[in-house]
Structure formats: C-alpha cells, structure tokens
Amino acid sequence: MEGITVALGDDPLAPGSRIGPYLLGGRLGEGGMGVVLKAEHAVLMRAVALKVMRPEIAADRACLDRFLREARAAAAVNHQNLVAIHDAGEVDGRTFLAFEFVPGGDLDAVLARDGALAPARALELIAGCADGLQALHEAGLVHRDIKPHNIFLDRHGRPKLGDFGLARDAGGADRLTMTGVGMGTPAYMAPEQANGDPGIDVRADIHALGGTLYTLLTRRIPFTGATPWAVVNAVVNDPVPDPRAVRPDLPAEVAAIVARAMAKRREERFQTPSELRVALADALAALGTGGAAVMPAAPAQTLDRTITCDLLAEDKPGSTSDSHPTVKVGPDGEVDAGATMAVAAGDWAGAPAGVMTSVVQTPAPKAAPVVPAERIDGDLTRGLEAPWIALVGDGCHVLLYARRQITLGKLCEAPVDVCLRKHPTTMFRDDCLRISRQHLQLRFDAPTNRLLLGDLGSGNGTLLDGAAMGPNAPQAIEAGGERRLHVAGALTLNLRAHARKGEPPASLGNDAGSVGDCGLDQSFAFDSAVLSRPDNRPGMAYALVLRRLSIGGPGSDLVLPQASGAAAELALWRGRWIWRPGPGAWQPLSDGLVVSAGNKRLKARVGGYDIFQTEG
C-alpha cells in the first residue's frame, strides 16, 4: 500500500485519488513548488495536510533539500504550539510531507473575518506562539518566517506555528540560501535578516512575533513600501511602528511589548521567547478586563496595478521582464509586504513564486452598544471556559457549542463536532453507517451576518425540506420557521434558527477575560441555531450558541421532551458560560452544576466525544 499511487482520470491529485496510504481530498493551497491537499490516512482515518512536491521541482537537488529540511525541522521538536509532522516519503516519483491538519485556519483569515483583535486575545495568541518558539529555540532552530499566515488555530483556538520551509539550524550548518540574501517575509523581517546577516538567531523570530502582534492589534502590516526592497529599507531604517497610532485606546504595556520585541538592535529585544512570554503574562494581568472589543472586519479590495522587480539581483543586460516576479500594488504604491521573498522554487500559499497581492482593508464603524439592566452575580472565572459543553439528565443529552460553525458526520473525532453515528441508542446505528465521515456543516458567517447550512459533498446526500442539497453549495437559513433535514436517508433532524434578542450589553458588572468569538457582547443577527432529533432520539439536541439560548418547555428556543415550567437561559460572556433559571441576574455555569430547565434537571460538564458512546 505504501508504494501505490491511484489516480482518478488525468489528474493524479484529484479528490478520491491515492498517494501511498493517503486518500486525497480538496486542495488547500498551490504554488510554484507544489500543492497542499487535505487528505486522510486510509488505515488510521486521520486527516492530514499533505504537501506534494512537483516532480520537476523535486529533480532540483537544492529545492528537494529545502523540502526535506522542512520535514526534519518539524520532526526535531514536538510541542502543542507547533504544527506536527506525521510522515514523509516518495511514491512513484511524488515526494510528500504529511502534516497535522489544523482546522481553525490561519491568523490572516481570522483578521479578514473578524478584524483586529482585542488586546487580551492578541497577547494570548502571541504567548502561545512564544511557547512554541521557545521549544524551537531549545532544539537549536530558527524559524525565519513567522507571520500571521504561518500561525494556525486548532479547534480550541490554540495557536500553532507552522510552515518550517525556511527554518534552519541556528549554527548555520544546514544553510541552503545565498549569502547576502534575506530569506523570509519583508514586513516581518528583523533588520539583520533583511541585511542578509548569516548569523541570525532566535531574536529575529522574536522580532517577527512583535510584528505579528502589531498586525493582530491593528490589522495592518508593520512596514510598507512600493517594492519589496522599499519594504526592506523601511525595516532597516524606519522607526518601530506604535500600534497606538492606529488604536489610541491600547494600554501602554501592550505597546511597550511591540516596541521592545521589534527593536532595531537585537541586543535591545527580548533575548529569549521565555522572556517575551513573561512580559506577555504581566501585560495580560495588567489588562484585568481584557481590553477593548474586537474591531470589525471589512470587505477586502484587491487592486490590480502591477509592477515587476527582481527579488534577488539587479537587472542584467539581456534580462527580460518574464524572468522577474510580479508584484501587485495599490494606487498609493503599497505592496503586500506579507508575501514571502522566495527563491524560484516558490511557495505553498496559492500563488507562483514571487507573486504578491496587495489587499487594502478598512474596518467598518461599529455601532455603540445599548446597556440593558443585566448583571452577573458571582465569580465569572468559575464559569466553564470551553467551546463545547453538555447538559445531561432526565433522559436528555443537550450539546452546546460556543463556535461559529459545527461539522456533523459519522466520525467520532476531529474534525467532526457532532457524531451522528454513535449516539445514545442502538436501534438506528446500522442505518447511520450511510452517513459520510464529514457530512454537513452549519456555519455562521459574521461578515455577512448569515447562517449557512451545507452538504460537504457527502456520498448519500442530504434533503432540506424534501429538496436535494447540492454538494458544497451552502444555503442561507432564516430565523423563525423550522426546517427539516434528511441525512443520507438514515436520520431526520429539525433545524430552527433564533434571531437576536436585544442589543449587546456594554457590561454585566463582571467582565474578566477577553471578548470571545461568541457571546452576548457580539451583535450577531442570530442568538442560536438548534438541531433536534424528533424520530430516533427526541431527548438529544445540538445547538450553535452564538449569543444565548433558552432551554425548557414549549416556547423555549430548545424544547425538551415532556418539559414544562419556566425555561432556563444559557449564554456566553467574555468566553465563559453563564446561566439563569429565569429573569434576573446571570450566574457562572460551573462544571457539575445542575441546571433547572422547567421540570428537567440537567448536569453541566465539559463536552467530549465520550458523550456519543453513552448508551441510553
């Protein structure tokens, strides 16, 4: 099996084809060096990000060495804040690397979707990256290309440093690049890296983390210019940017971290990632309430005026523009300095080597919130801080997700959130084998304020109100009426979306922590979306809790079977779960607390896949 390549049609990398033990899925990115695909190990049924090198590029020994160096760098250290490598090999002339598949996307995508981050969230993300960078440092490695695009979020929102294609031994023993050429991404390079200093060390990566923190706080790149070399000149000579010039409300402690991490002289920076980590922890403690709210996102405008420049050398007699990479710039001459200055082998980000696209984004204004007479009694930090909780009792299994999307399918592991095959009844389990591993996705799209339901290209399809859903063609779900889903002819689900009730409160009087992806502090058009199982398990339900949800008898957002009496209300505030048995003050929802939902008593716990194994 390890030596088998199976192609469907003319494309050897088409979905459904095989490379060794890996069943290929859709493409995640493509560049001059090769392609990155989502794939699944046929035996382990584990999702991976599979990097497949183009055969003609693999024939170039220098490019192949760089490719294999990425594998060795990733394999040299194991840490929760680093993307792990699972496998590397060559099958029928195709060289590949199999990396951990990280489902949360990269920080570039987060910024495009949500806008600049709250200070506390930005500090937390950089702190996690500093932990991963410390592990790299202790392994004797320098990353050399840290930027938002190379930081990924796992399903719990934890950051992971990835893309080790430029990583090298700190002593320079494995150096492959040209002397005097600064490999990396111009806007995030340290001055010594931009100058081609062969002796760069972890302090260059600390500089890049400082630049990344600046971007997370402002949604702007730290240095700009009309050409890559103009950006390099700015990196070397311009003052360190102060994020308070963009966001005057930012605390001085946060701006000071950016300034020190990005100091021009490496001796003036934090000397190790651990030292940076201590400063981040101190700043988080000083914030107390978690800082300002998330700045809103705005649609991106891609501009099309182009210039050409040679990234590696001056123009030579007889050279042609075809040999030069293309750089897209805006009308003000701003280049996307987030693009990587790369050798001719290219990159994996979806564009040929040297192609850079400028994106100009302007945050939209956010309406001032209305302050209702609501409050939290008790210590908010006692509330569950989990993206997934379960309420179990009196014949009910209610799973609540503090996420903007959930995936439903047959798998009982990531990346599926809701397992539709293993559930607390055995009667329908064989029928549920018809459900695909990843069958459906329910997603709230914040920029458009729409709730979307889509079939993920399942084998046996999905009916929505009796009509077949097209594969990978999400449909908008409106608030109000109930929609009926038939999944693979095996399972019926009822879906009901609930519109937002009230405006976001400015405070509940107990505001510890940072603004979360979901919660009462968000101005989403929806409060929740509920999926119930009317036929084969009426007591089981799943809910996407974007802001709040009521549970109980008739009239509740989520109606429990045989329930009566006043409904309980659950919500999220500053990333933690809260609840109340009726009108009045909110209370922290702690682990093991019993929620009274009318005549039902439901015990709260952190969610886990074991809930799907429970027989009932």
Over the stretch 230-256, which tens digit does the pLDDT of each residue have?
889 999 999 999 999 999 999 999 999
pLDDT of amino acid 42:
84
Topology, domain 380-613: Tumour Suppressor Smad4 (2.60.200)
pLDDT of amino acid 294:
36
* Upper half-sphere CA count for residue 302 (Cβ side, 13 Å): 5
* Residues 203, 134 contacting (CB under 8 angstroms): no
Average pLDDT over residues 161-179: 49
Q: Does an H or E element contain 88, and which?
A: strand 85-91
Q: What are the residues whose beta carbons fall under 8 Å from the beta carbon of 489, sequence distance 6 or more? A: 431, 434, 460, 461
Confidence at 92, pLDDT banded by 50, 70, 90: confident
Largest CA distance in the chain: 85
Nearest-CA neighbor of 501 among 551, 557, 577? 557
pLDDT of amino acid 346:
34
> In this predicted model, what pLDDT tens digit does every residue of 380-399 receive, in sequence order?
888 999 999 999 998 899 99
pLDDT of amino acid 548:
95
> How many Å from the N-terminal Cα to the C-terminal Cα in the chain?
40
**Percentage of residues in the chain with pLDDT exceeding 70?**
77
Does 421 score more than 90 pLDDT? Answer: no
> In this predicted model, what pLDDT tens digit does every residue of 65-74 receive, in sequence order?
777 776 777 6
Average pLDDT over residues 339-366: 33
pLDDT of amino acid 223:
93
Rounded distance between C-alpha atoms, residue 185 and residue 354, angstroms? 11
Place of tokens 């495009």: 112
pLDDT of amino acid 377:
86
Q: What is the mean pLDDT of the chain?
A: 78
Confidence at 366, pLDDT banded by 50, 70, 90: very low
Domain with CATH 3.30.200.20 in the chain: 5-100
Domain with CATH 1.10.510.10 in the chain: 107-298
Does 354 score more than 70 pLDDT? Answer: no
Average pLDDT over residues 445-467: 92
Average pLDDT over residues 583-588: 87
Place of tokens 């493509």: 30
**Percentage of residues in the chain with pLDDT exceeding 90?**
40
- Residue 242 is among the residues annotated as catalytic for this protein: no
Does 309 score more than 50 pLDDT? Answer: no
Average pLDDT over residues 592-608: 92
Handedness of CA 444, 450, 451, 452 (dihedral sign): negative
Residue positions counted in the chain: 616
Average pLDDT over residues 210-231: 92
Of 114, 131, 145, 527, which one is the catalytic site residue?
A: 145
* Residues 260, 270 contacting (CB under 8 angstroms): yes
pLDDT of amino acid 337:
39
CATH code: domain 107-298 is: 1.10.510.10
pLDDT of amino acid 143:
87
Place of tokens 């950006």: 231
Rounded distance between C-alpha atoms, residue 131 and residue 513, angstroms? 21
Single-letter code of the amino acid located at 23: L
Radius of gyration for the chain, computed over Cα atoms and rounded to the nearest angstrom: 26
Average pLDDT over residues 478-496: 91
Beta-bridge mates of residue 390? 399, 605
Look up residue 581 and give its two tokens.
Answer: 């048995």
* Residues 551, 409 contacting (CB under 8 angstroms): no
Average pLDDT over residues 330-345: 35
Report the CATH superfamily, name and number, of domain 5-100: Phosphorylase Kinase; domain 1 (3.30.200.20)
pLDDT of amino acid 429:
60
Instruction: For residue 170, count other CB atoms closer than 10 A to its CB.
Output: 16
Rounded distance between C-alpha atoms, residue 135 and residue 85, angstroms? 15
Q: CA of 54: how far to CAs of 35, 164, 345, 350, 397, in Å?
A: 8, 18, 10, 14, 49
Instruction: For residue 350, count other CB atoms closer than 10 A to its CB.
Output: 14
Which backbone phi and psi does 516 adopt, to 5 degrees?
A: -90, 175
pTM surpassing 0.85? no
Nearest-CA neighbor of 173 among 140, 145, 132? 140
Confidence at 469, pLDDT banded by 50, 70, 90: very high
Between 176 and 229, name the one with better pLDDT: 229
Rounded distance between C-alpha atoms, residue 154 and residue 81, angstroms? 9
Confidence at 31, pLDDT banded by 50, 70, 90: low
Average pLDDT over residues 329-333: 35
